Structure 1
Amino acid sequence: MEYVRSAGPKGSEDMEIREVVYAVMVRRLKEHLEAPRGMVPRIYAPASEVELSDLGQFCEQPLEVSYRNFLATTNGMDYFESDLSAFSSGDWPDSVRVVEACEFAATLRDIGILQDVGLPQNAELFPVAFDDDSTIGIFMIDVEGVGERFWMVGNGDSIFFTKFSEILSYFLDPLAGAFRSAV
């Protein structure tokens, strides 16, 4: 089965995220069945409205629409790409992976990477996904004058995304979008 994205009704972020989650899971399960590597992709039950509201208050920035819809579809996703997993609302505030992702963000800040890519030093980096090797993080950002809401950084790469669904789509086809490495 090949992934074909339908346009859907205008403003249909919920349908878009469901289609992208489905496509990612099909691809990852197919990869796993063809060459098992131990890490099985996994999705979870949807986050409740209370969990989404609590997470929005905790992160102190508005949840981007497709990210909110992602959590309302599957509250987290393990191994959506190799060893990269998206956090659930329940991972906050003190799961080991979230703590490690926050430490990674602090390191990025300390070595001046934020300024190198055009973000202010005080930009809030809210981790939404992290890899098992602690070398790649995806952060939700909300910086005035910057249209992108997510930043993927690590292993020498820096890519900004406008919405969460673009991140998942990027791993389906990295050449399908035009993304900036700095803002």
Structure 2
Amino acid sequence: MLIGELMRARTHEYFATSPLDPAYMPGLRAPATSTQIDALEALAGQPLDPGYRKFLSLTDGLDGFQSTMPLLGCRDWEDPERSGLATMFRDIVLETGPLDEVGLPEETHVFPVHVNVDGSKGVLMLHTGDPAVERFWWTGAGDNMFFHTFRDLVAYVTHSLSYVPRHLD
């Protein structure tokens, strides 16, 4: 239901803008297969968050997730432009400073699931093995927010008052 709410909000925002640009139209995609989802999990080097796994089985990514930024799906990793930008974003974040500076163990697995068009902002899926540690980190351009689950991330993007992420000071 959250994905439906998000799509309604993004579609309303899109049609309220002028001029309309088809490149930024929000849209759902065909579902990923279980084989594709398993392959993405292997590529990520971590278990996928259950909500993100379910999302991929319903729609393999989402265009216009946040403004003009897509929420990446399995097929995005077959696109050199999208996968290259996502990988570059992750690498820059990891090179910028040690993970422990943001309260994460150094051995944290980090995988991008959302990156803006210029690679300056995005969301990374995290895995430490500790269920108390958040699974998603929204970072870039001065933002540092942490979300426990994929559902929390989508709730925040859909209705920012319905979930309050942990912010770094």
Structure 1 length as normaliser, TM-score? 0.82
- Kept in 1: contact 2:37–2:74 (CA 8 A): yes
Cα distance in 1 for partners of 2:29, 2:57 equals 10
* Unaligned residue ranges in structure 2 (runs of 5+): none
1:127 aligned to 2:127?
no
Cα distance in 2 for partners of 1:97, 1:87 equals 8
| Deviation of 1:113 (Å) | 5.6
Q: Which amino acid in structure 2 is aligned with residue 48 of structure 1?
A: T
Cα distance in 2 for partners of 1:50, 1:126 equals 19
Question: Which 4+ stretches in 1 moved above 6 angstroms?
Answer: none
Q: Which amino acid in structure 1 is aligned with residue 151 of structure 2?
A: S
| Deviation of 1:94 (Å) | 5.7
Partner of 2:3: 21
Partner of 1:165: 151
- Kept in 2: contact 1:170–1:177 (CA 8 A): yes
Cα distance in 1 for partners of 2:167, 2:60 equals 28
- 1:4-53 alpha-carbon deviations (Å, 9 max, x no partner): xxxxxxxxxxxxxxx11111111111111122452110110111111111
Of residues 63-72 and 102-111 in structure 1, the stretch that sits farther from structure 2 once superposed is: 102-111
- Kept in 1: contact 2:88–2:119 (CA 8 A): no
Cα distance in 1 for partners of 2:39, 2:89 equals 24
Partner of 1:59: 44
Of residues 49-58 and 64-73 in structure 1, the stretch that sits farther from structure 2 once superposed is: 49-58
- Percent identity of the aligned residues? 31
Structure 2 length as normaliser, TM-score? 0.89
Cα distance in 2 for partners of 1:160, 1:137 equals 12
Cα distance in 1 for partners of 2:129, 2:67 equals 33
Which of 48, 51, 57 aligns to 2:33? It is 48
| Deviation of 1:95 (Å) | 2.4
1:33 aligned to 2:18?
no
Instruction: Tell me the matched-pair count.
Output: 164
| Deviation of 1:120 (Å) | 2.8
Cα distance in 1 for partners of 2:92, 2:107 equals 13
1:95 aligned to 2:80?
yes
Partner of 1:4: none
* Unaligned residue ranges in structure 1 (runs of 5+): 1-18
| Deviation of 1:57 (Å) | 1.8
